[in-house]
Structure 1
């Protein structure tokens, strides 16, 4: 009864001296709908990436990347470690049972208290106390900390939430990996189209160059015109090698994502300019909370941080434990297994509560609170950032579509102007610079059109990622 009274008094003292901390609840609200979006309850994020991408080669590349990418595989090992942490935490609130044994021999000094006692003892009549006294023992030993304040169980729940958060982290990495491979693939296809466009333009300029040289023979063109056309052809031919280098670097970037050494990337470059951006069903903003792995990860980390405060708080209260043992003990091995003479039992319990110099416990408690507030802000930031990403991509798809239409009209007009300028130049009604500048403007417009198409496709891919697609 006295022990119980002391324990109750200690608990009262501890409860009254726990520092006061202020936690934070996330305060963020999302709009009901997106602007410039197809308003449907279901988001395209639920579509598997194998169904989302209809290119003949891209799904195979993504599949290889998910299987072989080093970052994904490293994260899988962290997930495994987080799972092992759950096992370790579970074991902490279960009884510990071990088996052990010991053997030692002791000789005490004669002129000591123990020596004097032994001198006057006899185990059997006519036989003195052994000079070298042995101690042999073996048995089972057990200890169990009683989880009165749920500290150990809450710690297990924290480990479980951290494991689930690591799984969501892996899903978020896969989402980004899918988008990164897709964007690099379409960038590679766009470079192929730019190289093809450049080659076509070089042929046009070479033809113009031959015409100018022929006109020079009839004194209808100057050597300056010939030199300028020749320089333009050389400039564009040198640009071919710039594009070829960019193609090699982009291929190797994809190979790195796929976890393999540099090698050619199979791709379908034909028909790239005919790709029509998909109509993306964005759903409603609240679906981001379910579809985005990074939001779910932040949510789990916030829940773990909330519970960690309770774990740290429990350190202020007394801890209770039970210890027990059963086995055999004797001074001579031949008596070791004699029962009940050599049977040894032990049973005890104790409690301990921090009283003076609790600085470390207070620091851990305040750190747990600070981590909870940080996790709440991180959760808010993740939600706001996710909504912003979706809004940016939706706006980008709309603006890029208008931009592409105007650039298409520009390219069509410049293609027509090339034919007109060539005819006028042949009839001496236009200067060679007009022909040269028209061809240059047409090439730049075509390159810009290809780049705009690539941005259109990238905006669709990035919107799919922003909505939370790609990890399923």
Structure 2
């Protein structure tokens, strides 16, 4: 009994093996630099020339504040509620919560019951213990030689079992389950961020296509007007049939562009409906592409903020925590384990005496220590494998951090260069519009031929479509920057 008390005391004090988790220190390497427009690496990029004291970390801005478009906000809300992948992720998160709760229950005894049991054993003469129990019970009575009742009992009992967490095995299992749950939570954030990003990008594609359809329709109407003038000139003998055919060919080409863009619009619209978790249906969009804006007063932050906000980086760290806990479990398995079993109940060979608590009651208590000695090197191998998996998880953590910083730098560079390109495209628009106007006036005055007009119209169409496309790319790049910094799940 003294030994039992000693073992329980050791259990209560505990002797946890394994190493407590400590975040790796990557501050001494080159993982902390972003792209800057002047080509000099920097720890932080401020947008719009705002001072640090006036800035807000971009990733900390709620997505509804960052995306200033009521139509898009409504679409994203619907996607977060109805998207199939999002709903599946929520169920996975619930599974993780249940597993975490189960790991906490490992510290408590397991309790089972046998409300009622009946047992009757039949044997014959060649049974190796023939007649032993029957003879003792009936004081020498002759035992039948074939299918006699050797044993009969009625039972009702409670059974309990408890494993003492001497070396912290159960605590490490709980820590591993907690890390896995937190990883699932970060995965849910990652799915939400990705979903918001994809819905926004698809929406901006719709805005782009809608704007391009309008430009293509306007260009077709202009080409048609030019064709009518060329036909009048042909009827007056001032132009050739070649001029009519080439002008008509250009008009038909611009006319063909409209159904092409409308077809792409239908495809993108159906994809957006899929993201919203609904069947294909028209999506009413009242916003114009040139009306879209973002929250622009912000700072991108520094690498530490990526750890705090990016779900994939956080997932990698929680995986490292889990692997560290798994190593603790593997190490604890090398040491002795203490298990205590107990049971109590009623047992009687006759039903009439079954409910007699004095004459039919029983209680059993069993404590055992299990010490693995030789298991074909399995425990040692499992422990060393767990340590290697921990090192791999640490490398994955650093790899995700580097990828995250690279994503931010790429997004910043993309936005910077797209804005430069957009400024040039706007300048080109002014030139082509003036050229189109001049070509029209000169053509009507007889100082320009139809080829010059067609060329001016084609150049104007290309510049208009290009400007719309660059604007769309800028919008998507801003969404990508927001996503790459870990925003979108708040």
For normalisation by structure 1, the TM-score amounts to: 0.89
Counterpart position of 1:296: 314
Secondary structure of the structure 1 residue equivalent to 2:369:
strand
Change (3 A) 1:108 1:223: closer
RMSD over equivalenced CA pairs, Å? 2.8
Aligned-pair CA distance for 1:302 = 1.0
What do the CA deviations read for 1:210-248 (whole angstroms, capped 9, x no partner)? Answer: 111111122221111111010001111111110000111
Q: Give the equivalent residue in structure 2 for 1:57.
A: 71
CA contact (8 A) 1:136 1:329 kept: yes
Structure 1 residue 156: Cα displacement: 1.3
Quick check: 1:157 aligned with 2:175? Answer: yes
Is 2:236 the partner of 1:218? yes
Please report how far the alpha carbon of residue 123 of structure 1 lies from its aligned counterpart in structure 2 after TM superposition. Answer: 5.9
Shift of 1:278: 4.8
Residues 190 and 122 of structure 1: is their aligned pair in 2 closer, same or farther, counting only changes over 3 Å?
closer
Contact 1:192 1:269 in 2 (8 A): no
* Maintained 8 Å contact 2:343/2:363: yes
1:75–1:170 CA contact under 8 A, matched in 2: yes
Q: 1:281 aligns with which of 277, 294, 298?
A: 298
Q: Secondary structure at the match of 2:70?
A: coil
CA distance in 2, matches of 1:191, 1:204: 20
Partner secondary structure for residue 337 of structure 1: coil
Cα distance in structure 1, aligned partners of 2:285 and 2:395: 43
C-alpha separation between the residues in 1 aligned to 2:143 and 2:355?
21
> CA deviation digits over 1:270-328, x for unaligned, max 9?
3x225456525134212122121222221111111111100111111122111111111
Match of 1:30 among 26, 29, 32: 32
C-alpha distance after superposition, 1:421-457 (max 9, x if no partner) = 2232333332321211111011001100000111111
User: Are residues 117 and 212 of structure 1, via their aligned partners in 2, closer, same or farther at CA, if it must alter by over 3 Å?
Assistant: closer
Residues 123 and 129, structure 1, Cα contact 8 Å, conserved in 2: no
Partner Cα separation in structure 1 for residue 246 and residue 339 of structure 2: 93
Counterpart check, 1:398 vs 2:416? yes
Matched, 1:47 2:49: no
Counterpart-to-counterpart distance in 1, 2:128 and 2:196: 80
Q: Determine whether 1:137 maps to 2:155.
A: yes
What is the CA–CA distance in structure 2 between the aligned matches of 1:118 and 1:274, rounded to whole Å? 95
Distance 2:372 2:338 in 1: 12
Count of paired positions: 454
Higher mean alpha-carbon deviation, 275-284 vs 251-260, is at 275-284
In structure 2, the residue matched to 1:366 is 384
SS in structure 2 of the partner of residue 344 of structure 1:
strand
Once the two structures are superposed, the pairs formed by residues 56-455 of structure 1 within 5 Å of their partners are: 56-100=70-114, 101-107=116-122, 114-115=129-130, 121=136, 132=149, 133-270=151-288, 272-275=289-292, 278-285=295-302, 286-455=304-473
What is the alpha-carbon distance in structure 2 between the residues aligned to residue 275 and residue 24 of structure 1? 41
Aligned partners of 1:389, 1:35: CA distance in 2, in Å? 14
The answer to whether the 8 Å contact 2:61/2:487 transfers is yes
Q: Which runs of 5+ in 1 are unaligned?
A: 8-17
Write the distance in 1 (CA, Å) between the matches of 2:93 and 2:319.
14
Residue 36 of structure 1 contacts residue 394 of structure 1 at CA under 8 Å; is this kept in 2? no
Contact 1:26 1:380 in 2 (8 A): no
Distance 2:339 2:294 in 1: 66
Distance 1:334 1:434, change over 3 A: same
Alpha-carbon shift at residue 174 of structure 1 (Å):
0.4
- TM-superposed deviation, 1:92: 2.6
Greater mean deviation of Cα atoms: 184-193 or 25-34: 25-34
User: In the aligned structure 2, how far is the partner of 1:328 from the partner of 1:463?
Assistant: 70
Distance, in Å, in 2 between the alignment partners of 1:379 and 1:117 is 68
Residues 277 and 136 of structure 1: is their aligned pair in 2 closer, same or farther, counting only changes over 3 Å? closer
